[in-house]
């Protein structure tokens, strides 16, 4: 396909977050070239460099300058996977936008199947992992547990075994971009916006090169963020635990009063019972304060209204009509424009 024509009006956008992926970039670029060539309409690939400290950004900027179908958005520091995805989605100009990992665990070839579902009328096409090769038993187990938990607790049905690999139609994307929240659990948000959701399944291969950027700590942070963002079950848990402990304390108090009434001679030694009551009430109190604190912390983050990310520079947008890199930073403005366009 003619590269210049491809850049003129992309139908498809691929959004790829990059964090220290220099080991995988040569293979990634080959596979993306092949994918872009095989699409039935023009496509663009948008890399979001999430504050890499290796040569990733340099290599990708060179690619964006030499091939009109490629673009690079370089964030000023490491903002994390979920924010990097959001930055890429802000800059995407396609009618159908695909989010995929850089490490080829989300095989570019699956995009064809997603496009087929999109053409059938699906607005959000999730890629479900039928298997996960090359991932530790521990990761598989914790992931399974997490998906089950959030599936049971979340107000919107977050699909199981689906990561961030999905195709999104423009109108669903506008809905997503209109969500102003700062804690961005992207897969939950795409479940929350609704629209017609579809699924394709694929076998998830191991990482093509390099190492996972998700440490255990980051995985726990992502899971906790997802649960607190999309469920108020933890808050209700605190409430019920508080009620239960208070009831127990009440019953125990009645027992103590009963024994006192009937002159139980051992009662004078009631030091242990005092300790138990104080400890259990103190524990319940701490649990509830801690959980409320989680939510207060989030309110705090929301009211600060800092920009979600800061773009250090953008490359390869010169010939991209319809994409205004400055305006993309203004999330509200973008949603407004999208609404005007529809009216």
Contacts with ligand UDP, residue ranges (CB under 6 A): 17-19, 21, 50, 78, 80-81, 84, 101-103, 105, 212-214
Minimal distance, residue 207 CB to ligand UDP, in Å: 6
- By beta-carbon proximity to Mg ion, the closer residue of 103 and 174 is 103
Buried b (16+ CB within 10 A) or exposed e, 198-218: bbbebebeebbbbeebeeeee
Residue 67 binds: one of ligand UDP, Mg ion, none (C-beta under 5 to 8 A by kind)? none
Minimal distance, residue 306 CB to ligand UDP, in Å: 18
- By beta-carbon proximity to ligand UDP, the closer residue of 63 and 213 is 213
- By beta-carbon proximity to Mg ion, the closer residue of 127 and 328 is 127
Minimal distance, residue 67 CB to ligand UDP, in Å: 20
Exposed/middle/buried for 29, CB within 10 Å: 0-12, 13-18, 19+?
A: middle
Binding mask 270-309 for Mg ion (x = CB under 5 A): ----------------------------------------
Exposed/middle/buried for 39, CB within 10 Å: 0-12, 13-18, 19+?
A: middle
- By beta-carbon proximity to Mg ion, the closer residue of 21 and 61 is 21
- By beta-carbon proximity to ligand UDP, the closer residue of 21 and 123 is 21
Stretch that binds Mg ion, among 74-82, 99-107, 127-135, 194-202 (CB under 5 A): 99-107
Phi, psi values for residue 74, rounded to 5°: -105, 115
Which of 155, 144, 145, 215 has the alpha carbon at shortest distance from 185? 155
In contact, 269 and 231? CB cutoff 8 Å: no
Stretch that binds Mg ion, among 72-80, 104-112, 123-131, 133-141 (CB under 5 A): 104-112
Residue 102 makes CB contacts below 8 A (sequence gap 6+) with 16, 17, 18, 21, 24, 25, 28, 47
Rule CB under 5 A: say whether 103 interacts with Mg ion: yes
Cα dihedral 117, 133, 106, 124 sign: positive
H/E stretch holding 74: strand 70-75
Which residue ranges make up the site for Mg ion (CB under 5 A)? 101, 103, 105
């Amino acid at each position: 396909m003619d590269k210049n024509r491809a850049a003129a009006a992309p139908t498809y956008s691929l959004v790829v977050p990059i964090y220290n992926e220099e080991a995988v970039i040569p293979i990634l670029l080959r596979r993306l070239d092949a994918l872009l060539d095989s699409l039935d309409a023009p496509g663009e690939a948008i890399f979001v460099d999430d504050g890499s400290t290796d040569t990733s950004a340099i290599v990708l900027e060179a690619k964006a300058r030499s091939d009109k179908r490629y673009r690079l958005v370089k964030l000023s520091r490491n903002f994390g996977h979920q924010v990097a995805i959001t930055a890429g989605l802000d800059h995407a100009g396609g009618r159908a936008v695909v989010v995929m990992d850089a490490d080829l665990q989300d095989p570019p070839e699956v995009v064809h199947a997603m496009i087929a579902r999109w053409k059938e009328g699906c607005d959000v096409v999730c890629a479900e992992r039928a298997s996960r090769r090359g991932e530790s038993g521990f990761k598989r187990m914790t992931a399974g547990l997490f998906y089950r938990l959030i599936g049971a607790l979340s107000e919107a049905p977050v699909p199981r075994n689906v990561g961030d690999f999905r195709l999104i139609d423009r109108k669903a994307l506008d809905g997503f971009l209109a969500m102003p929240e700062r804690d961005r659990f992207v897969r939950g948000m795409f479940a929350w916006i609704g629209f017609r959701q579809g699924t394709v399944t694929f076998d998830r291969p191991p990482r093509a090169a390099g190492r996972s950027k998700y440490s255990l700590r980051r995985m726990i942070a992502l899971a906790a963020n997802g649960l607190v963002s999309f469920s108020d079950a933890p808050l209700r848990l605190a409430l019920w635990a508080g009620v239960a402990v208070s009831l127990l304390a009440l019953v125990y108090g009645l027992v103590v009063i009963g024994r006192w009434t009937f002159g139980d001679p051992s009662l004078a030694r009631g030091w242990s019972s005092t300790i138990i009551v104080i400890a259990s009430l103190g524990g319940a109190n701490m649990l509830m304060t801690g959980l409320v604190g989680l939510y207060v912390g989030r309110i705090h983050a929301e009211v600060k209204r800092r920009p979600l990310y800061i773009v250090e520079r953008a490359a390869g947008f010169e010939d991209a009509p319809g994409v205004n890199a400055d305006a993309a930073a203004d999330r509200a403005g973008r949603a407004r424009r999208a609404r005007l366009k529809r009216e």
